[in-house]
Structure 1
Amino acid sequence: MTVRVMLVSPAMNMALRQPRFDDGASLDHVGLRQARAAAGALPEAGRYLRGPSTRCRETADALGLDAEQAGDLRDLDVGRWHGRTLDDVSTAEPRAVATWLSDPLATPHGGESLSALTARVGGWLDAGSDESGRILAVVEPAVVRAAAVHALGLPLHTFWRLDVPPLTLTTLTGRSGRWNLRCGQPLHPAAGSTD
């Protein structure tokens, strides 16, 4: 069966502007305004999901979605780095950051490895491919990257080379083992047609 999985990255907040490992911050006023403006640009789906973060919840709400929270679509767990800026962590623990960025199995922060994230998201994606229809989910950029890496069978180190801007749509169409990818379509009124 063929399924269309549409992943929307959440709107901007201060954690993204700094850059800071997610600290549960709400959308900023610009992000909220942009998400509300993009509401009419979303493709229709039979099922709406969202990651559990504040940013995903607020983006889904601003987009007008009645989205169910999906635990498997949670962000990468960065353990004790949660809430800190990347600059701060890089200064305090340069070797740990270098290891984390180069080894997909590393967990110097005490959280989740990129390998584990990709396996978790890939498991969700493969389970969803047993359905037919359309799924739209508001998820953190790391989840979008993990889905793309898994679906296309990319090497794990490519995770860091995939950019996922705020309020963009990434679509995976296919089924387990064979996926097509459409990346980074901006959500704005002119982008409403994605077929």
Structure 2
Amino acid sequence: MYAFTSRFANVVLKTFGRTQVINKNKLPKDTGYVVACSHVSWIDVVALGTSLLPNEIYFMAKKELFNKPSAAKFLHSINAFPVDRENPGPSSIKTPVKLLKENKIVGIFPSGTRTSEDVPLKKGAATIANLAKVPIVPAAYSGPTDIKGLLKGKKIRVIFGDPITLTNEDGTRKDPSMLTEELSNVMASLQDSLVRGDYK
């Protein structure tokens, strides 16, 4: 189901959104990793997933989306798993850490909500990456935020930054707060580069 859905979505986005993936060569090839992306609408979720093809990505999604059996079945089929954002506990971290240790890719939208405003990044991405001992790949999206914008042919861009490692140059471990701040700064820089139109 994931292969069919992602490839179909890829065709749709490329046809209407003229998708451009920037710096895909920066993605790690020999390990699982967390990819943290800006989030303004459901389209950036789809765009991030298709930009990583042929690799699959596993998404954290709020548990409310899984309330209906039909919706839950579909979400599971496209590699989404539920997370209780209001009361996060050990189970919220257990699943993504397990996937990462299996060399899978886990997608997280650190702001926690869909918004165009500057929202402080939550520490989830850094905490999960630390526990799984994998790097974090910062990413940013620009493009349509709804079907109307997509059908008008507004260009879709997904950009990846250099993987953020868990240790400093002297070998000491970065704490989650430090990782979160570094991730926030890099993601903001990537977003600014898309807004400026550095990549035509």
Bucket of the pairwise TM-score, normalised by the shorter protein: 0.3 to 0.5
TM-score, normalised by the number of residues in structure 1: 0.35
TM-score, normalised by the number of residues in structure 2: 0.35
